[in-house]
Structure 1
Amino acid sequence: MRLPLSRLVPLLAGWMLSLPGGAAAPGAERPLPPAVATALAQAKVPRDAVAFLVQPLDGAAPRLAHRVDAPMNPASVMKMVTTLAALDQLGPAFTWKTRFYADGAVADGVLHGNLYIEGGGDPKLVLERVDSAFRALQAAGVRQVRGDMVLDNGIFEVPAHDPAAFDNEPLRPYNVAPDGLLVNFKALILRFTPQADGTALVTSEPPLTGVAVPDAVPLARGQACGDWRSALQADFSDPNAVHLQGSFPARCGERDWAVAYVEPSSYAQRALLALFRAAGGQLDGGARQGRRPASARLLLEAPSLPLAEVIADVNKRSNNVMAQQLLLTLAAQRRLPARMEDGREAIAAWWLRFVGSATPGPVLENGAGLSRDERISASALARMLARASRHAEATTYLQSLSLAGVDGTTERMRERGLTNVVGNAWLKTGSLRDVASVAGYVRGRSGQRYVVVAMVNHASAPAARPALDALLEWAADDDR
């Protein structure tokens, strides 16, 4: 179910018009709601491993305040800080620019020289938009390049990155490092489609120059779908080929598998060269990394999606690398090349202005929550969210969050049996092996509006998700 804009926009506008002057300071702690306490006990999570805050937006005393000043790892809930800072400082219409330059003359559709592609840090330079840019380049008169394609990602300075360092899952797309010229999240997507001849057709996107992918794999009939990825016996360690030694269970139907390409440093070169040719372009040379010379002439500027759409992807889908691109973009407003430490400084300065020096700011690593070290207290996050609710772009920020039971990471709340919050809560969730979290805005059955923050830091945190669900339901069920 998706709420039509005719209903959603007045609802959001009403939310903004009724906002208070600020969140009240947390009062004395109250007992946890019984359903929450029971769920924590069943998960074997002690109360000193959680922080809960349910704060009315009208400035009244909190309905619930438990360990609200304890620094907690918020996991992906930290994206709420990064996206709000970007929205406040850059504005909803901000766009990133990918620029195309030439160092030679263009005549009769031929560039006599090199084509330079200079990344601007676009967080969502996906295949369709790359194809559109290449076709626009051809329309501008460049159909053949008698030189090289030179890729310049120098706007960001990103240190060497080990994709296995965080959780020993180097092929997971969420472990991809940010990049000044981030193409398609550096991901390779394999699609398996069962055929009548006893095989599963294998297709892949994007095309990657020099990377061989099998056309088909055998079907395993009668085998349960289960862990179909393991059944394929895939080997992605070779940068030049994907190896599939197993079979695909026919019962799975069509499935997609997104993996992080094993050699990320060459991904943009391989993808952009293949996509340029697929769009009808001709390149006499090859693709390589390099810097755009100052004397090169601008041919085309390809803008990104507006920031308002980007932060919706970050928050609703919890995209880690896009969040890191945002942090580096904030850094780029201070100095170039942009570095993570500059982004952390940018958000620290923003926090002082937006929330105030009386509230300790977050401890950031990458701004995405993909970290063992990031910290924020429930009270600090709640104060930020209360101030965000009075922002000129409060509606934009609210719409970037997952609408409970409808879209994003909370879409399955309805399936989990939640009723009060479905369609009545705008949330961001977070999960790590030892973290479960949720934060956002809840509209109670009484019409009261709340900021809700809940964070669990414990080895059994994943098992405590029902306690967070129970807290949200309790917050919304406020008319008893």
Structure 2
Amino acid sequence: MKKVLAAGLFSLLTYCFSMGMACAQNFLPVTVKNALTSSGLSFEQLSVSLIPLDGGKLNLSWRDHVKVQPASTEKMITTLAALELLGPDWRWKTSYSYTGTIENKTLSGTLFIKGGGDPKYVSETLWRDLSRLKSLGIDRIEGNVVIDRSYFEKERQDPAFKDDWDRPYTAPADAALLNYRSIAMTITPEKDRKQATVTVVPQLIGLVTPSSVKMSRQKGCVRWRQALELDLDDPLEPEFDGALPSGCDEKVLAYLAPDANQYWEMFLRTVASQVGLTWQGEVFEGIAPAESKLLFDVWSEDLGTIVKLTNKFSNNVLAKHILLSLAAKDSPGIPASYARARAIVNQWLQQRVGIGAGEILLDNGSGLSRQARVTARAMTRLISYGWKSPRMPEWLASFPISATDGTMSKRRVAPGYAYIKTGLMNTVKSAGGIIQARSGKRYAIFAAVQGKKATETDAPIDRLIEWVYLQG
């Protein structure tokens, strides 16, 4: 009976290929099965959907109806929706205003900095804007600085990831986000001295970091962050209780500052002193009043640029800001919420993309979530839609390229021919995107491995990409 079934499947495939049809295959390629088995994974831990985009002959469905956690492939949904609904030229505005008076080169009163959701407002941007205050003839500020975050609803970090709340990738959305609210220490080995130097740029007023850290005899560089044993009892005076493994090259260790206002205050003091602006006040959170007088508005980089950073490097906070901006545009003057943003994306998915309710359950847009769910077939439908979208060039250009850049830079599979957004979270590894096969035909693919040992290997998904590249 098995031989009869196998012969039947072979005949069906042969017929499909001879007729130029896309064969509806619901069994896994041998190389993928072998990769699952050798990795200690069951076939039921994998979900796959593969569909042709331009007349290719492969078509694979394997548990494609099962709801899985998308991890960071959720960013594919967020970014495509934003490119279509906001447009690639969308920019975020940060406003500087004040109450009080400006006389004799002194602003006497309160300086307001109102965030407009710019996800990439960094220290260099702050340096530019404080320099602009100087160019307006303000040499001194006598008063406090108020940060207005009312453009977005306040977000708290997800309790499901509490163990990693000190990691920048868990940062909450913040309408007045500065420098990703992170402090980055560059750790440079000096192996002849058996220690590593520690530097922070810029050197922040109020931040005291170790100048060096010991190096251990541990070979290799596995779990180097854990080996350093970073102590953040006082986040402004971090310490190392461990050592850097001797097998490590230079590393950058970043952590999330817990107090956003304190973080702003450190940077304002530091940058103000650099540009020659005198200020001795404090930073508070509040609302810029309607009667405050505008000094200037500044605009972010465009959405197309931010989307590329979001997907290439899987930046969670950028994705969160992009999603919330959909709600901000839809309801001006009302703090943007995830609930409203999800409703907008769900409507777009159903009415434009043609994906039924419940097949994609978005959460915060980044994929750092235990609640988000997708089916593989819905994701390839999304990719197929994106392939035909006017925003396809910007969207596809944001995907990591196999063996080339982003999160696919070290994946030596179909080098240069697979544009794949990856996802990784505890118990799930996922990938979705477009592969150009050797034949020149292109395919939309989505795959996810879930459960025990799912994150220990790239092999099953890599063998799948390889199979499409070679056989498609």
TM-score (ref. length: structure 2): 0.88
- Corresponding residue of 1:4: none
The code of the aligned residue for 2:215 comes to: A
Q: Which amino acid aligns with 1:434?
A: T
| Contact in 2 for aligned 1:359/1:380 (Cα 8 Å) | no
Alignment of 1:443-454 (within 5 A): 443-454=436-447
Which residue identity lines up with residue 188 of structure 1 in the other structure?
I
Partners in 1 of 2:37 and 2:231 — Cα distance? 42
Q: Which moved more, 1:294-303 or 1:244-253?
A: 244-253
For residues 156 and 436 of structure 2, the distance between their equivalents in structure 1, rounded to whole angstroms, comes to 44
Give the Cα separation in 2 of the matches to 1:198 and 1:381: 50
Aligned to 1:408: 406
Q: Taking structure 1 as reference, are residues 88 and 325 closer, same or farther at Cα in structure 2, changes over 3 Å only?
A: same
Alignment match, 2:346: 348
1:77-114 per-position Cα deviation (integer Å, ceiling 9, x unaligned): 01000011111111111110111111123234321221
Q: Secondary structure at the match of 2:265?
A: helix
Report Cα offsets for 1:137-187 as digits up to 9, x if no partner.
Answer: 32233332111111111111124335x632522222111111111111111
Task: Give the letter aligned to residue 82 of structure 1.
Answer: T
1:247-282 per-residue CA deviation (whole Å, 9 max, x = no partner) reads: 445653432111112434532333333333333221
Q: Following superposition, which runs of at least 4 residues in structure 1 exceed 6 angstroms of deviation?
A: none
Distance 2:218 2:358 in 1: 54
For 1:399, give the aligned amino acid.
A
Query: 2:179 matched to 1:181?
Result: no
Please name the residue that 2:215 is paired with. Answer: 220
Correspondence list, 1:179-218, <5 A: 179-194=174-189, 200-217=196-213
- Residues 248 and 44 of structure 1, relative CA distance in 2, 3 Å threshold: closer
Give the alignment partner of residue 314 of structure 1, picking from 285, 305, 310: 310
Matched, 1:460 2:460: no
Q: Give per-residue Cα distances to partners, 1:185-238, cap 9 Å, x unaligned.
A: 111101223457765332224554433223334x43755463444454431121
Partner of 1:338: 336
Counterpart residue number, 2:98: 102
Structural RMSD (CA): 2.4
Give the C-alpha shift of residue 356 in structure 1.
2.3
Structure 1 residue 59: Cα displacement: 5.6
Distance change in 2, residues 1:433/1:245 (3 Å):
closer
The one-character-per-residue Cα deviations of 1:17-40 (angstroms, maximum 9, x if unpaired) are xxxxxxxx9975432111001111
Alignment of 1:172 onto 2:138: no
Provide the aligned length of Structure 1 versus Structure 2.
448
- The answer to whether the 8 A contact 2:134-2:277 is kept is yes
Q: Does 1:475 align with 2:471?
A: no
With normalisation by structure 1, the TM-score equals 0.87
Q: Please state if 1:433 is matched with 2:426.
A: yes
Look up the equivalent residue of 1:386 and give its one-letter code. Answer: S
- Structure 1 spans left out of the alignment, 5+ residues: 1-24
Q: 1:428 to 1:357 in 2, by over 3 A?
A: closer
Equivalence map 1:21-420=2 (5 Å): 28-58=24-54, 62-161=58-157, 165-166=160-161, 168-194=163-189, 200-217=196-213, 219-220=214-215, 224=219, 226=221, 227-248=223-244, 252-264=248-260, 266-335=262-331, 336-356=334-354, 358=356, 360-414=358-412, 418=413
- Could you tell me which amino acid in structure 2 is paired with residue 382 of structure 1? T
- Percent identical across equivalent pairs? 33
Secondary structure, in 3 states, of the residue corresponding to 1:412?
coil
